[in-house]
Amino acid sequence: MLVIPIGAADMPVVMSLLNSYAGLSSAATGFVLHNNVLIIAGTLDGFSGFILSILMCRAMNRSITNVLFGGFGAVAGTDTGATGTMREVTLDDVANQVVFVPGYGMATAQAQHAARELGNLLEERGVSVKYAIHPVAGRMPGHMNVLLAEANVPYSSLYEMDQINPEMPQTDVAVVVGANDVVNPDARDNPKSPIAGMPIIEVDKAKSVIVLKRGKGKGFSGLENPLFFKPVTGMLYGDAKSTLTNLAQAVQKV
Ligand code: NAP
């Protein structure tokens, strides 16, 4: 009952918190049954889950009280008033200094190797390539780091949100690979947005933004993203893996 009204981007915190409650209830069961293993394992599970929930709240710039009692989910899916025309771009429009911003879509498409291959090709042509990591991109903490490490992206090319944001105005192209909520400028610009105050990767400050996604699907929070309607943004529709592979082929021909 407590978590029914909670939704949108707060859901991961709730999942981790419930996990923590499960641990604490195991510990309580351990006390009843006089079982030390249950007490120790339950306490470790409960407290690590609780610490993780707090860290996730910090990453999203929200207090745990707000998550639990703020009724966040009641407004999930609200029409945020984002309107206009989405600008579609073609493969020829993508060029020069690039920051990749991966999100959950990169994970579902398993596009990390394709991103790395495109990054390599660009670097061979003298382009500076960076990968911007938002703390809650994907569906678990460190999700993007794990995927990019699997694709052998060097650690030195990974940039935390706070490191990359000041560089955005000098970035020629920000390539958003299946990310949505973590690049939603409403979190910064619209105090009435359900995700107001959540830190974002400010791709809209780059000279050009290319968003790779399959269609007009919403992100985890269910909110429309005004980034997709900005003049600086181009939408490149398709599965992220095949789009990145096509982009790499286009770059090879240049
Ligand atoms: P997101 O907001 O969930 O958006 C993912 C986007 O990827 C969607 O808009 C979807 O659009 C696109 N997509 C899906 N499959 C794709 C594919 N095969 N190829 C290309 N695009 C694809 O992702 P995010 O920006 O990474 O944000 C993460 C969200 O999850 C946040 O709201 C965060 O709070 C939440 N969360 C995070 C954690 C964590 O710990 N990291 C845990 C649970 C939840 P289309 O459908 O149009 O393709």
Question: 189 and 221 in contact (C-beta within 8 Å)?
Answer: no
Q: Which of 10, 45, 181, 186 is catalytic?
A: 181
Does residue 251 surpass a pLDDT of 90?
no
CB-CB contact of 113 with 180 (8 Å): no
| pLDDT digit string, tens, across residues 89-139 | 655 555 577 999 999 999 999 999 999 999 999 998 888 999 999 999 998
Q: Which atom of ligand 1 has the smallest separation from the CA of 60? A: 34
Band (76; pLDDT cuts 50, 70, 90): very low
> How far out from the chain centre does Cα 121 lie?
25
- Report phi then psi at 113, rounded to 5: -70, -40
Nearest-atom index, ligand 1, CA of 195: 32
Q: What is the pLDDT of residues 16-27, one digit of tens each?
A: 888 899 999 999
- In the reported structure, the alpha carbon of residue 25 is separated from the centroid of ligand 1 by a whole-number distance in angstroms of 32
pLDDT at 226: 96
CA of residue 78 to ligand 1 center, whole Å? 18
pLDDT of 161 strictly over 90: yes
Distance 63 CA to ligand 1 centre (A): 22
Higher pLDDT, 69 or 15: 15
Confidence tier at 63 by pLDDT (50, 70, 90): confident
Please list the residues that pair with 237 across neighbouring strands.
Answer: 213
Q: Which residue's C-alpha comes closest to atom 2 of ligand 1?
A: 219
Give tens-digit pLDDT for 130-153. Answer: 999 999 999 888 899 999 999 999
What pLDDT does 253 receive? Answer: 79
Query: Which residues' Cβ are closer than 6 Å to ligand 1?
Result: 9, 11-12, 56, 103-105, 108-109, 136-141, 143, 178-182, 212-221, 239-240
What distance in angstroms lies between residue 201's CA and the mean position of ligand 1's atoms?
14
- How far apart CA 206 and CA 191 sit, in angstroms, is 22
**Maximum CA pair distance of the chain?**
70
Residue 230 C-alpha to ligand 1 middle, in angstroms?
20
Q: Catalytic residue at 79?
A: no
- How far is Cα 132 from Cα 41, in angstroms, rounded to an integer? 36
Pairing of strands 158-160, 233-237: unpaired
Atom 14 in ligand 1: residue holding the nearest Cα: 105
Per-residue burial over 141-178, b = 16 or more CB atoms within 10 Å of its CB, e = otherwise: bebbbebbeebebeeeebbebeebbebbeebebbbbbb
End-to-end CA distance of the chain: give it in Å, rounded. Answer: 58
Average pLDDT of the chain, as a whole number: 88
What pLDDT was estimated at residue 79?
A: 61
> Dihedral angle at the C-alpha atoms of 129, 131, 132, 133, nearest 10 degrees?
-170
* Residue 175 pLDDT: 96
Residues forming a β-bridge with 212: 177, 236
State yes or no: pLDDT of 203 exceeds 50. Answer: yes
pLDDT recorded at residue 55 = 87
Q: Are 198 and 179 in contact (CB under 8 A)?
A: no
User: Given ligand 1 and candidates 108, 220, 247, which is best to mutate, with the most ligand atoms within 8 Å of its CB?
Assistant: 220
Ligand 1 atom closest to 216 (CA)? 47
